[in-house]
Amino acid sequence: MKVGLVGFAGSGKTTLFNALTGLKADTGFGGKEAANLGMIKVPDARVDFLAEIFKPKKKTLAEIGFVDVAGPDAKKSEKGLDAKLVADMRLSDALVHVVRGFDNPALTRPPDLLRDLEEFEAEMVFSDLVQVESRLDRIRKEGKKGAEKTFFETLAAHMEAGNPLRTLALSEADLASVSGFAFLSQKPCMVLCSVADDAAGRELGDDLKAAAKKRQLTLVHMAGRAEAEISELGPEEQAAFLADLGVTAPARARFIAAAYAQLELISFLTTGEDECRAWTIKRGTVARRAAGKIHSDIERGFIRAEVIPFADFKALGTEAKCREAGKLRLEGKEYVVQDGDIVHFRFNV
């Protein structure tokens, strides 16, 4: 899972990137082109438990990759967001829109969480609309009529009204037909409010909550600078400083919990003597597609999935006992994988 940290220049993206990854990327903006890259491992007690049982050569936790993308200035564009910025954002599986809630002496505009949320969302919608209108122009030049033209006209009308594509109900077939466009406003997205240290424990405003709800966004707020400093401390020192901020867990733990909830992520598990591992997928993913997370050949040659819910395995202790108790199930390609499923895929290519 690759998550893009996006937002206007000076919003605190890189400071939050450092807090989440434990890295020390240079902060500031103006002329920076290369994106910062970092990974964090997702703690999972289930993998720890399975590793104790199977004693594998390797234990692998799920990972979230972060791309800290250099942001644009907060000004209205005529052609959408910068092409390089858009390219970096399109490569991300999900987006975290960082909005500024602290004073930045390098910027002339005062902080305004609601304003920046609405303006950057509008820029993403506009960039997508440019793509859709370009496609419609091509359809019209080729003299095509019918379903494709109607579909893209529906997308255009939705965005012309200022709505992100994530708020438009689309069928699985429709989603598949536009997957290659990697529309920005269709990607799973959450809003991370970067606030001053003394505001870390405060509630966010009702108007901001309403704007986020309308756009199907989850709000999280963090004091980026303080959290980045806390991430460098040991566990006991962290607890004391977090208490002073009025929060109960470090930025990384809070972010992972919020991201998995908002982005509808779950983990399925694989076990064996070589490796015990967690694999991150979208909630609702069917078995065949989940198999492709491991390798495309497994998806292509999928035969069946042998599934044991983690809770049953933990209670019974072995695969043999789960099989005897009827807790090991054989599932087909359309089975919807559940969080914590221990899965062994059978395939033939």
> For residue 46, what pLDDT is reported?
96
> Token digits for 74?
């907060």
> For residue 78, what pLDDT is reported?
54
| SS3 of the chain: helix, strand, coil, percent, to 5 | 45, 20, 35
Q: Is the pLDDT of residue 253 over 90?
A: no
Residue 41 host element (H or E): strand 36-41
Return contacts of 37-43, CB within 8 angstroms, 24+ apart: 37/65, 37/66, 37/67, 37/68, 38/65, 38/66, 38/68, 39/63, 39/64, 39/65, 39/66, 40/64, 40/66, 40/252, 40/256, 42/256, 42/260, 42/267, 42/278, 42/280, 43/253, 43/256
CA distance 268 to 289: 12
CA distance 27 to 10: 9
Query: For 63-89, how does the pLDDT look when each residue is reduced to its tens digit (9 = 90+)?
Result: 888 888 877 776 655 555 777 788 888
- Alpha-helical segments (H) within 180-275: 206-214, 224-230, 235-245, 251-262
| Phi, psi angles (nearest 5°) of residue 101 | -125, 30
Is 195 strand, coil or helix?
Answer: strand
> For residue 261, what pLDDT is reported?
76
With a CB cutoff of 8 Å and minimum separation 6, the contacts of 219 are: 190, 191, 193, 204, 208, 209, 212
CA distance 328 to 320: 9
Residue 65 host element (H or E): strand 63-68
CA distance 52 to 59: 10
- pLDDT > 90 in the chain, percent: 50
CA distance 248 to 250: 7
> For residue 31, what pLDDT is reported?
47
Compute the mean pLDDT over every residue in the chain, rounded to the nearest whole number.
87
Lowest mean pLDDT among 11-20, 22-31, 210-219, 296-305: 22-31
pTM (two decimals): 0.77
Where do the domains of the chain lie, and which CATH numbers do they carry? 2-112+187-262 (3.40.50.300), 284-347 (3.10.20.30)
- pLDDT band at residue 304 under the 50/70/90 scheme: very high
> For residue 220, what pLDDT is reported?
83
- pLDDT band at residue 2 under the 50/70/90 scheme: confident
> For residue 124, what pLDDT is reported?
94
Query: For 173-197, how does the pLDDT look when each residue is reduced to its tens digit (9 = 90+)?
Result: 888 889 889 999 999 898 988 888 7
Closest CA to 9 of 122, 98, 127: 98
> For residue 12, what pLDDT is reported?
86
> For residue 33, what pLDDT is reported?
63
**Contact, 319 vs 328, CB < 8 A?**
yes
> For residue 75, what pLDDT is reported?
60
Query: For 287-303, how does the pLDDT look when each residue is reduced to its tens digit (9 = 90+)?
Result: 999 999 999 999 999 99
> For residue 150, what pLDDT is reported?
93
Average pLDDT value for residue range 40-55: 92
